[in-house]
Amino acid sequence: MTPEVERMERLAERLRTVEPFIPPPGAKIRGWNLVLAAVEQSTAARVRVHPVRRLVIGAAAAAVLLLAGAGAASADSLPDSPLYPLKGVLENARGVLAFGATDRLAYHLELARIRLTEAETMIARHRADLAGASLKALDDQLNSAALVVQSERHADPAAAARLQERLRQAVATDDQQLADLQGQAQTPAAASAIVQARARAADALKLTQEPSASPTASPGGRPSPARSNGQASPTSTP
């Protein structure tokens, strides 16, 4: 091996050890929301190209789609979609089937993540009103999760401590994401909604450290009750 080839080999080896650039989590989430929105839009545009065909197929499958398909489609719907209220019905149904504190906590934390993703998409679409509603719904889910932890403390303090740690991690992750989102907010209304959401999330975590006022909180793992704003989340308008 010539000295030149040896040098090239050493340089190549050094290049292989260079640490990759890791995208910030907020970038990845923002990208996913934009990709999802673009895919939905392009799918809708393709459908518009064939209106007659769509009509024929739609008529034949309408009954099935209305009953089964709409339910499935609503699972991925967003607050600005007509199917969004149906998503709440399905989420409520899932909540009824969440037994045990661990399942109920996981259920609320998952819904909180969904609300956060929805809020990000709404901000990306410049719908500060719907984003604010999703953020309120996010905090409602975190509150419900905190109440699960609080009520579990009576039954099993060790398990409650584990649940509290899960909640703490979830709130920390959400807060990081909200902080990224705050930097991207393009209107004062959106920024203010995010600031409030972060404060409410921190309050929810504090709630787990307080003595339980009502051990029956979050009954049966059901989602939080209806809020004043009917569009806050799909679960708010069952």
| Site residues for another protein per CB under 8 A | 3-4, 7-8, 10-16, 18-24, 27-28, 30-32, 34-36, 38-39, 42-43, 76
CB of 32 to another protein, least distance (A): 6
Q: Among 214, 224, 109, 116, which Cα is nearest to 167's?
A: 109
Structural tokens at position 97: 């089937």
Q: How far is the CB of 163 from another protein (least distance, A)?
A: 28
Least distance to another protein, CB of residue 197, Å: 23
Element of type H or E holding 184: helix 157-184
Output the six-digit token pair for 66. 């209305």
Q: Looking at beta carbons only, is 49 or 158 nearer to another protein?
A: 49
**In whole angstroms, what is the distance from residue 154 CA to residue 212 CA?**
8
Q: Which of 57, 55, 80, 83 is nearest to 68 (CA)?
A: 83
Q: How far is the CB of 174 from another protein (least distance, A)?
A: 19
Nearer to another protein, 8 or 189 (CB): 8
- C-beta of 18 vs 59, nearer to another protein: 18
Distances (CA, A) of 55 to 46, 60, 64, 190: 14, 9, 15, 39
Smallest gap from residue 37 Cβ to another protein (A):
9
- Residue whose CB is less far from another protein, 36 or 89: 36
CB 132 within 8 A of CB 189: yes
For the record, the structure tokens of 203 come out as: 């309050």
Q: How far apart are CA 169 and CA 77, in angstroms?
A: 27
Q: Cα separation of 193 and 229, whole Å?
A: 14
End-to-end C-alpha distance for the chain, whole angstroms: 74
Identify which of residues 3 and 188 has a Cβ nearer to another protein in the complex.
3
State in angstroms the smallest separation of the CB of 141 from another protein. 21
Closer residue to another protein in complex, CB, 69/225: 69
